[in-house]
Structure 1
Amino acid sequence: MVSKIDLDHIEMMQYDVLKEIGNIGAGNATTALSMLINAKVDMKVPKVELLEFRELADIVGGAESLVVGILITLEGDIHGMMMFMLEKMSAHHLVNILMGKNIDNFEEFTEMDLSALMEIGNIISGAYLSSLSQLTKLFISSSVPLMSIDMAGAILSVPAIEFSKVGDKALLIQSQFGENDTEVNGYFILIPTLESYDEIMKSLGL
């Protein structure tokens, strides 16, 4: 089956739809994060781009920057992967707030910290997928999340290898939460199969 969407020459209306999906998803995830840490969370307008896999690492600080990556596989009406990435410093900020620790505590993550990080990623990713499902009226289920703390290049190589055979682009939603000294940079990377892009567009009448 030939896909109706060409990610190398995407139509403006299709791109606008993808950007709107990114905006709504990020807003929903921010609300979930606010409820999780029981504090008001401000979010700057997310930056949504369709990028090649090789460009993603530079956005998060370079291939050798340390990040926390939480990866889930998408199933149901939509197939693909979604990854939520945090710069390691941002991950410390979130865990410190959630666990009631000193905001400037940057010691190595404990087992409890890692469990909290996994929960943060799970809830934020779930909120994002929920908004996508509600918007498109499509059924989307996800696998148990896999978490890794490693260099950005190594973490991003997993979806890149998996999806390079169907395309070399991913939808990146870059969000900033919080204020100044406690600002958290979060990155949602949505990688549907080309057939799933078609399903999303069809569900929205395009």
Structure 2
Amino acid sequence: MSVNFDNLDNIQIDVLREIGNIGSGNAATALAKMLNKRVNMDVPQVKVLQFQEVSDILGGAEIPVVGLLLRVTGDISGSIMFILEKKAAGVLVNILMGKPLDEIVVFDEIAISALKEVGNILAGSYLSALSTLTNLNILPSVPELAIDMAGAIISVPAIEFGKLGDSVLFIETEFSEGSTKVVGNFFLVPDIDSYEVLLKALGVAN
């Protein structure tokens, strides 16, 4: 039987959920330091999805989104995607910049740099949590940012990184400041050869 995320039971999903919780806690702390103000983050859901389900989670292939793509290297390899609806990304930029939340955002160099920094913090926080639980050395690359339709964004890792596994770890990430909430979608997409390494390290595979 091939080792992949599809074979996980509830206990193993709980371990992955813990990665989401620890990672979001670390990320919230790092963002608060960066912004010098409190940022709340929650992880409403952690799921294992089929790769082809990703665009459905995002609301369909035609939805305009902002996507951050990072390569993962070290003891496992694969890619990370952090994807926000374009409108939500604008609200997040305004939160980061301390601007009125309904202000129209132009995705200029400053806005893109702020979003990349959030992507860096999130990826670093989640991978650090994963590293701690697995004792694996896992490193993120510098993020690349793209603004496009969801279908186009998620095709990038599939094309760029060759054959990916069928399953991805999905961590829904909710930022809030006051009553304003921004939902982002974080996906860890291991390369096929990395599934076994990752699951063995989590104490899941034999």
TM-score tier, shorter chain, comes to 0.7 to 0.9
Instruction: Render the CA deviation track for 1:169-204: whole Å, top value 9, x for unaligned.
Output: 111101212157521111110011243232223223
Counterpart amino acid of residue 145 in structure 1: P
- Cα separation, 2, equivalents of 1:66 and 1:163: 23
- Cα separation, 2, equivalents of 1:65 and 1:181: 25
Q: Compute the displacement of 1:152 (Å).
A: 0.9
- Cα separation, 2, equivalents of 1:24 and 1:198: 23
**Structure 2 residue 17 is the aligned partner of structure 1 residue 19:** yes
Between 14-23 and 169-178, report the one with greater CA deviation.
Answer: 14-23
- Cα separation, 2, equivalents of 1:180 and 1:88: 21
Instruction: Render the CA deviation track for 1:100-141: whole Å, top value 9, x for unaligned.
Output: 322211232222111222122122212221222122211112
Q: How does 1:124-203 map to 2 (within 5 A)?
A: 124-161=122-159, 165-179=163-177, 181-203=179-201
- Cα separation, 2, equivalents of 1:95 and 1:179: 12
- Cα separation, 2, equivalents of 1:107 and 1:45: 26
Counterpart contact for 1:137–1:203, Cα < 8 Å? yes
Unaligned segments of structure 2, at least 5 residues: none
In structure 2, do the counterparts of structure 1 residues 161 and 14 end up closer, same or farther at CA, with 3 Å as the change threshold?
farther
Match of 1:91? Answer: 89
- Cα separation, 2, equivalents of 1:9 and 1:129: 22
Match of 1:53? Answer: 51
- Cα separation, 1, equivalents of 2:9 and 2:189: 18
Counterpart amino acid of residue 75 in structure 2: D
Unaligned segments of structure 1, at least 5 residues: none
Counterpart amino acid of residue 143 in structure 1: S
In structure 2, do the counterparts of structure 1 residues 192 and 131 end up closer, same or farther at CA, with 3 Å as the change threshold?
same
Q: Percent identity?
A: 54
Between 111-120 and 196-205, report the one with greater CA deviation.
Answer: 196-205
Match of 2:61? Answer: 63
Between 71-80 and 27-36, report the one with greater CA deviation.
Answer: 27-36
For residue 41 of structure 2, give the secondary structure of its aligned residue in structure 1.
coil
In structure 2, do the counterparts of structure 1 residues 41 and 73 end up closer, same or farther at CA, with 3 Å as the change threshold?
same
Give the TM-score normalised by the residue count of structure 1: 0.87
Q: Compute the displacement of 1:156 (Å).
A: 0.6
CA RMSD of aligned residues (A): 2.2
Between 146-155 and 193-202, report the one with greater CA deviation.
Answer: 193-202
Instruction: Render the CA deviation track for 1:12-54: whole Å, top value 9, x for unaligned.
Output: 3333322222332233223222322222222334301111122
